[in-house]
Structure 1
Amino acid sequence: MSEKNASYGGAVLAAMLILVSGGVAAADAAGSPWTVGGAVRFNYVYKSWQDDYSNGFFGLDTARLDVNYDDGTLIGSAQYRYNRFPKGQGGYWQHFLHHGWVGMRFADKSTLHVGLDKNMFGLAPFTSNNYYESIAFYAGFEDKFDLGVTYASKPGPVEWQLGFYPRDGGSYGGGSNTAGASNRYSYNIVPDDDQQGYGTGQRDHERNTAIGRVALFMDDTRRNEVGVSALTGTIRNDTRSSGRDTRRNAVAVHYRGGAGPWNVALEALRYSYHTSHSASQTYGGLDPNSFVMLGAFGYPYPVATKGDIYIGNVSYDLPGKLGPFSGFKLYNDYSVLRKRVAGYKNSVQNVTGLSFSAGKWLFYADFMVGKHHPYISPDGGGLASTSRAHDGYTRRINIQAGYYF
């Protein structure tokens, strides 16, 4: 698809989103099992290290279309997204299937999903309060979707989920300045790209991922929860002459709770990627098995093959309204990746922010501070090896307005 066609396609999708919103209320009134909706979101972004945009920049973030089905027994959900970012954000576009699954709800309210579905691992459905999520997202452990089967137990004081995903979510379309294998929503292990990546020659994929999760709710309000998750899967090495298929493993424990307007979320996660790369499948003289390439949103980057992620979030729900605005939430989300690789420095992300709504509008105002992080610093390889030039903390401001229907 050409750049011109991509721009036209984005305009058409945005128009579709506005048109279908008028039909949702009618469908609901008729008792239809179908619901159709979507969102259009815009961002203002400022990056402290970006001298070319000293006043920040503004542009479209996402246009998306949602379709859901629920007749009580048969269920399904799909979402397609189009992203087009301004030059300060890379000046690129892409489109992808965010999720798409069909399933059943059984008599005891347990469910079975088949398709591109969410990995139930760690804190769910999200680890964080802010728009940019946590370091776990960029390492491939938060808000992630793969192709397979997910079973969720009936609701109760103890709930569990099992998932098996033979393949990842796949790659879709994007501009000529994106890496084809990374045109996707979820951060997966992907083949590196010679032009838009690091040119390592690594050609890995995630395969046959199994995930189990158990959560215990400690009171009838279901507000206080503790849980444990485990993951194992294959890393498929497409360059068989230089390597073999290996394994990846992860385990996490979490707690979510609160009292009154206060809420807390905690998670500790350990992961290990066992790779089999040849001596030439590297960059900058690094050990080729000390990092693996992850990719999404158009670009791959290296991530340490072994690490611990710690997450600590606190939020406060402000009462009352201010004109048309309500649902105010103050939060601070902290996460750190401690790499268990010699010479690799820790990556840090801290987001202080406020979210609120007005009718169908939802707003985020986030102040982000971090280092050795591809989205909060100029250190694109920061989740693996880092440069002395990027040892200091850098800042990013994100203000988002989204219309949801």
Structure 2
Amino acid sequence: MFSKITLIIGLMLLSTGAIYAQDKPKVEIGGALRFNYNLSSWKEGQKKRGGDFGYDVFRVNAKAKYKGIKLNAEYRLYSEGFGGGMLKQGWLAYDFDSKNEIQVGLTQVPFGITTYNSNNWFFSLNYYVGLEDDHDMGVKFTHTDKKWSYAVAFFKNAEELNFGNNSDVSNSRYSYDVASIDLDGDGILDLRNKEVNQVNGQLNYVIGNDSINHKIGGSAQFGGLYNLDTEEMGSHYAAALHYQLKYKRFGVKAQVTKYKKSPKGPAADNKQVIAMTAYGAPYLTAAAGQTYTLGVSYTVPVKWGPVSSLQFYNDYGYLEKVNSDFEDTIMNVTGVLVSAGNVYTYFDAAAGKNQPWLGGQWTNGLADAPANEKWEVRFNMNIGYYF
């Protein structure tokens, strides 16, 4: 039986290899330079200055292909205050045919609406609990057809930058992952967990035609949470139902997500919260909850010199925390994306309650935030040249 399977796989590889045998090596280099302006309601000094305008990120993208084997990598350089340099994604892939592909490396986790469950520069609330545009180390198989598409994946762990026996997760990363945090400022890290051995499945079905189509799907993931102090394995899971509508210039993205993280840390650890990190700074999130996100968009083509289109949108997100003593988190972003040649500019009015990036409660906003926190607003403009 094993020999027959080996023979079949060998014949498949030979046949697909023949397809790509005449390919010439192809390399594409791209990237972007972005700047950011923001004015935040909770920053008194910034309001007196009229906001701040500065460097956001410089990134380099590389794509290569030869004989069916592809490379896709993106490296980003943020300021030191936002984590410095980091690899957003980097994977090798092989196309069995036009519909089936396998990727190995730092690749996007197939969960929820992909590539993005949002229209704005801030992403959706799911991103801040590690459930949108997450990238981990593993292997992923994807199948894409006109009606059905699916993906299955195994991720050994999140981005691993420190290979010690008891190394904590680095804060320098693009997407949010379970990590460690110093809660009392004594220089000793607490809640020391790492994501390991995660499996993912995603299924989508498309109904409609080119003028109007509905994409209905579901996603699930399950994996381990290894505690560095007890050396015991906890677990985590997430499941989601998602829907997308495209009708002429109008678009809808909707998703309902349930997640739970169950670490096996020391007895003194608070099991109701979990540490997560990205961009050089960790914070706490509720260990269990449901998120509800809804985004709508409408694109208007224009001819204003270099400006070719305006995409208006509103993205809403709500995090209902399982622990009834925790205050829920709300986020809403209203804005417009202006496209002008290679320049893309997001104008966003982002409002949040108990959202770390939209208020003064950084560490506890997504976890046990204080009661009666008020809404905060951040006006943000991100301008980038993409090449």
Partner of 2:252: 264
Q: Which range is displaced more, 197-206 or 370-379?
A: 197-206
Q: 1:167-186 alignment to 2 at 5 Å?
A: 167-171=157-161, 181-186=170-175
2:238 counterpart of 1:275: no
2:60 counterpart of 1:78: no
Change (3 A) 1:67 1:376: same
Counterpart contact for 2:83–2:172, Cα < 8 Å: no
Partner of 1:336: 318
Partner of 2:121: 131
Greater strand share, structure number: 2
| Partner Cα distance (2:268, 2:184) in 1 | 17
Q: Deviations over 1:247-269 (max 9, x none)?
A: 10110000000323211110000
Q: 1:94-243 alignment to 2 at 5 Å?
A: 94-171=84-161, 181-193=170-182, 201-221=190-210, 223-240=213-230
Q: Deviations over 1:112-144 (max 9, x none)?
A: 000000001011110000011011000000011
Q: Deviations over 1:344-392 (max 9, x none)?
A: 111011000000211111110000011101101111111100113x611
Per the alignment, in what secondary structure is the counterpart of residue 308 of structure 1? strand
2:369 counterpart of 1:386: yes
TM superposition shift of 1:197 = 10
- Alpha-carbon RMSD: 2.1
2:336 counterpart of 1:349: no
Per the alignment, in what secondary structure is the counterpart of residue 38 of structure 1? strand
Identify which of 241, 244, 248 aligns with 2:236: 248
TM superposition shift of 1:72 = 6.6
Which residue identity does 1:270 align to in structure 2?
K
- Could you list the structure 1 runs, at least 4 aligned residues long, displaced by more than 3 angstroms after superposition: 193-200
Identify which of 27, 33, 53 aligns with 1:34: 27
Counterpart contact for 1:171–1:182, Cα < 8 Å: no
Per the alignment, in what secondary structure is the counterpart of residue 191 of structure 1? coil
2:56 counterpart of 1:68: no
Identity of aligned residues (%): 29
2:353 counterpart of 1:371: yes
Unaligned runs of 5+ in 2: 1-23, 163-167
Per the alignment, in what secondary structure is the counterpart of residue 402 of structure 1? strand
| Partner Cα distance (1:371, 1:198) in 2 | 30
Counterpart contact for 1:228–1:253, Cα < 8 Å: yes
Counterpart contact for 1:376–1:394, Cα < 8 Å: yes
Change (3 A) 1:76 1:92: closer
Counterpart contact for 1:334–1:350, Cα < 8 Å: yes
Counterpart contact for 1:72–1:105, Cα < 8 Å: no
Counterpart contact for 1:119–1:144, Cα < 8 Å: yes
What is the number of residues matched between the two proteins? 356
| Partner Cα distance (1:36, 1:352) in 2 | 33
Partner of 1:56: 51
2:289 counterpart of 1:307: yes
